[in-house]
Amino acid sequence: MARAVTPAQVAQIAGLLARAPDAKLREIICFVEALPGRGALEPVIARIRPRLRALRPGRPLTFGRVLWLSVEPLLVDPARWRTGQGEIPRHALDPLAEAIRAADPALAVRVDAAVFGKHTDDALAILRAGEALWPGAAAALPAEPPAGWRPAGLPAATYGEIAAVLAPLLRHGVALHDLRLAGPDGPPEGLARPALQALAAEGPAAVSAGLACILPFASQPARIAALAVSVGGGPAAEAALDRFIEGASPQLDDTAGLSHAAAAAERFALMLTDLDRASSSDRPHRAKALHKIRKEAGASCRTQISAADMTFGTPLREALGTAAALDDREVEALEQNARALRSLVETAHALDGGGRSAQPLEAALATLRARAARPAGGAAGFTRADTVRLIEILGGPDAAEQAAGRPHAA
């Protein structure tokens, strides 16, 4: 049995993770993931999950990580877990993984070999391991609470409920994983329909839990829920969509960078457009909830816009003031952040109907126009062509033509 991490070690690791810059955090989390008996570190890891979601570090693949990948959206920290919610407490994972390994040692050996040296960004390695592991694990779930259940702080009476949630999701783990990967494409009906039919055949609880695992990755969650209804998912599918809407959040993490925030905001706005189709006269609560979410998402975008000075405004002023030539990488970074800033402004307007103007964008345009109006100099520093190009990104072709001294014809 794995030796437990001591309280002193937990405190030391918590301090390291809290103080670590992004680049170092990737290194430390890989070390932490490899520790034996890491269950004691779950509360510590929970505190940095927002940063990990933004950084998306390639973490080492393990038996346990592949095992629980398809049910990840259902995992909750122990303090938040309540019976009857169809969720899985994280402190149940290690005892269950150990029980499954013990029940099928040959399967464990195969999976360990398949994931050795691989990381979480290797989708093919995950699929190859999961094809054997997920259905095998469903069959290997013990009938009674495993040995580590009570020591983990879980009452024996909770085991049946948690196992009942897990079993159908593990049986259909390959299909759930495919839908997760295809989420940005809808996922397509041809892929989703057979998976949803299989869940519907398992019963309402499987439909509810399965959709909870699929919808967070879907660009068209309302369409997927409607498809689930059409194949027999019934009220469970509608209720799952309601829960998804209640928990919808743009998750614009200010540690992730301007481009990441802009892309996340665009995806969220497109998803809300799909969810608007789920509102109807007999479900007015959805329209009300979506209106509130749009306002919150627009405000989140504007917070990112206001904070854009660190990722665009300050580097731009430094570029305009430098005497040295910028290399292609530095110019590209400025242009990338300019596109992200304009995208955030436009998305914020689309979300909450607020004005298109944003002070950081207008301030940057004013600075750039003043620079473009100066007589053209040599190639040192930030060139006039660079300036006009940024004006075009932020203000459009007309603004660029005017800055270049060629007013747009009426």
pLDDT digits (tens, 9 = 90+) for 19-53: 777 667 766 776 676 666 566 677 777 777 666 66
Integer Cα distance of 125 and 103 in angstroms: 23
Calculate what percentage of the chain has a pLDDT beyond 90.
49
pLDDT band at 1 (very low <50, low <70, confident <90, very high): very low
Hey, which bits of 161-277 come out as E strands?
A: none
Whether cis (ω within 30° of 0) applies to the bond prior to 187 is yes
Q: C-alpha dihedral over 289, 290, 296, 301, to 10 degrees? A: 170
Q: Which of 123, 217, 115 is nearest to 174 (CA)?
A: 123
pLDDT tens per residue across span 308-347 = 878 888 888 888 877 567 778 888 888 999 999 999 999 9
Mean pLDDT taken over the chain: 85
Provide the whole-model pTM. Answer: 0.78
What is the structure's pLDDT at 58? 64
Calculate what percentage of the chain has a pLDDT beyond 70.
85
Indicate if the pLDDT at residue 97 is higher than 80. Answer: yes
Provide mean pLDDT across the span 203-228. 96
For residue 269, count other CB atoms closer than 10 A to its CB: 19
Indicate if the pLDDT at residue 407 is higher than 50. Answer: no
Q: Is the dihedral of CA 220, 224, 225, 227 positive or negative?
A: positive
Indicate if the pLDDT at residue 8 is higher than 50. Answer: yes
User: Which of 166-170, 240-244, 300-304 is predicted least confidently?
Assistant: 300-304
What is the structure's pLDDT at 250? 75
Which residue type, as a one-letter code, is found at position 39? G
Integer Cα distance of 337 and 316 in angstroms: 10
What is the structure's pLDDT at 159? 96
pLDDT tens per residue across span 62-86 = 999 999 998 999 999 888 999 989 9
What is the structure's pLDDT at 89? 94
What is the structure's pLDDT at 326? 73
Are the C-beta atoms of residues 338 and 390 closer than 8 Å to each other? yes
pLDDT tens per residue across span 378-391 = 445 678 888 899 99
User: Which position has the higher pLDDT, 203 or 362?
Assistant: 203
Are the C-beta atoms of residues 196 and 227 closer than 8 Å to each other? yes
pLDDT tens per residue across span 137-176 = 999 999 999 999 999 999 999 999 999 999 999 999 999 9
Integer Cα distance of 275 and 263 in angstroms: 19
Provide the 8-state DSSP code for 231: I
Indicate if the pLDDT at residue 409 is higher than 50. Answer: no
